[in-house]
């Protein structure tokens, strides 16, 4: 009797191991087939970010927030009238000082932010419409890639991207400030733009090929 019970326990254990192995294989297979879903998730993420952030560019606090990046960039500072004066007129988020606000008006801070907002929203829309217009969508992804390189350049040109030397021992490189941590995340968008431009280009070529067949 004891032998029979022991044998049944072994059989049950073997069956359980096989079920767990099959379950593991099924889960791994499911994950392995998520690549297409992943591409859609990446595209959706880029669209949401560009539409949302682009829309916020029309609001004062967001326009104020990008001033240090634009004012210190050798590629963008020419959009401002007085970029060298920005440190004297910094508004914190949620803060509105009339004198600083007027300086930003005179500096073209809000005019530049409005233009940038239009560009970001337009890019977001074009990337979303890749099935309707794959070639313009591909071009939009290329522009996102280029713009993201520009954003990452702020790590070099903007001192506020790094923790300042105040009283803590941790400052400068590699200690990213709040602004720096915001910028470094664009590495993900950089990779995502490659995926979306490649997918849009493939769809465009596929449709061109179908037209000639």
pTM: 0.83
pLDDT value at position 118?
Answer: 97
- Per the CB < 8 A criterion, the answer to whether 184 and 110 are in contact is no
**Over residues 171-183, mean pLDDT:** 91
pLDDT value at position 169?
Answer: 87
Tens digit of each residue's pLDDT (9 = 90 or more) over 149-162? 999 999 999 999 99
- Mean pLDDT taken over the chain: 89
Tens digit of each residue's pLDDT (9 = 90 or more) over 10-35? 667 667 677 777 777 778 788 888 88
- Round the CA-based radius of gyration of the chain to a whole number and report it: 26
For 134-185, where are the alpha helices, taking DSSP H only? 134-152, 154-157, 178-184
pLDDT value at position 187?
Answer: 95
Higher pLDDT, 15 or 177: 177
pLDDT value at position 30?
Answer: 80
For 33-133, where are the alpha helices, taking DSSP H only? 35-56, 60-65, 67-72, 98-107, 109-128
Spatial distance between the Cα atoms of 56 and 63, rounded to a whole number of angstroms = 8
Tens digit of each residue's pLDDT (9 = 90 or more) over 52-104? 999 999 999 999 999 999 999 999 999 999 999 999 998 888 888 899 999 99
pLDDT value at position 6?
Answer: 58
> Buried b vs exposed e over 167-195: b needs ≥16 C-beta within 10 Å?
eeeeeeeeeebebbeebeebeebbebbee
Nearest CA to 79 among 108, 110, 116, 115? 108
């Amino acid at each position: 009797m004891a032998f029979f019970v022991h044998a049944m326990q072994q059989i049950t254990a073997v069956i359980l191991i096989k079920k767990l192995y099959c379950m593991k294989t099924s889960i791994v297979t499911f994950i392995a087939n998520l690549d297409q879903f992943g591409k859609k998730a990446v595209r959706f993420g880029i669209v949401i970010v560009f539409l949302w952030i682009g829309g916020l560019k029309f609001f004062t606090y967001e326009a104020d927030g990008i001033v240090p990046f634009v004012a210190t960039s050798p590629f963008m500072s020419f959009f401002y009238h007085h970029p060298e004066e920005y440190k004297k007129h910094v508004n914190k988020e949620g803060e509105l000082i009339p004198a600083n606000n007027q300086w930003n008006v005179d500096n073209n801070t809000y005019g530049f932010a409005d233009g940038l907002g239009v560009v970001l929203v337009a890019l977001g829309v074009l990337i979303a419409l890749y099935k309707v217009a794959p070639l313009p969508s591909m071009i939009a992804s290329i522009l996102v890639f280029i713009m993201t390189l520009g954003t990452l350049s702020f790590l070099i040109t903007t001192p506020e991207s790094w923790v300042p030397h105040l009283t803590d021992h941790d400052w400068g490189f590699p200690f990213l400030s709040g602004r720096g941590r915001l910028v470094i995340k664009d590495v993900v968008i950089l990779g995502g733009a490659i995926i979306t431009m490649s997918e849009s280009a493939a769809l465009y070529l596929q449709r061109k090929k179908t037209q000639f067949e």
